[in-house]
Amino acid sequence: MAGQNEEKLHIKLHVYDEDIDVTVDRSDEMYYRRAAKLITDKYNLYAGTYKGRENDHKISLYVLIDIALRYEVEREKNDTVKSNDILRKLTAMIDDALESGDNPK
């Protein structure tokens, strides 16, 4: 049980104008800190553009959409299903060509 607690770390993240206490896996601390910085940077960008015209809630939604969009684009780029499908088709074509004797010598 003590080993599990050693893997957890209690940290304070500063996100925009709030301090947030979180308990994270020690190995994930860097990612949490980077995420807090990204959110803060994006919020500052949108607040600079929309503060006074939009409420804080809507500015937060702009930030969420921006970050979720980045996530979706990266997820699509890293989608190996499409690549694996193409590789399977190419492998089948090569196997067919080798079996039919169409290979050049």
Are residues 62 and 53 in contact, defined by beta-carbon separation less than 8 angstroms?
Answer: no
Rounded Cα–Cα distance for residues 10 and 48 (Å): 32
SS3 assignment, position 77: helix
Per-residue pLDDT 10s for the chain (105 aa) are 455 567 999 999 999 999 999 999 999 999 999 999 999 999 999 999 999 999 999 999 999 999 999 999 988 888 777 778 888 888 988 888 888 875 555
User: What angle do the packed helices 56-77 and 29-50 form, to 10 degrees?
Assistant: 130
Question: Which pLDDT value is given to residue 76?
Answer: 84
Contacts of 42 (CB under 8 A, 6+ apart): 63, 66, 67
Question: Which pLDDT value is given to residue 75?
Answer: 87
Which residues share a beta bridge with 13?
A: 20
Are residues 46 and 18 in contact, defined by beta-carbon separation less than 8 angstroms?
Answer: no
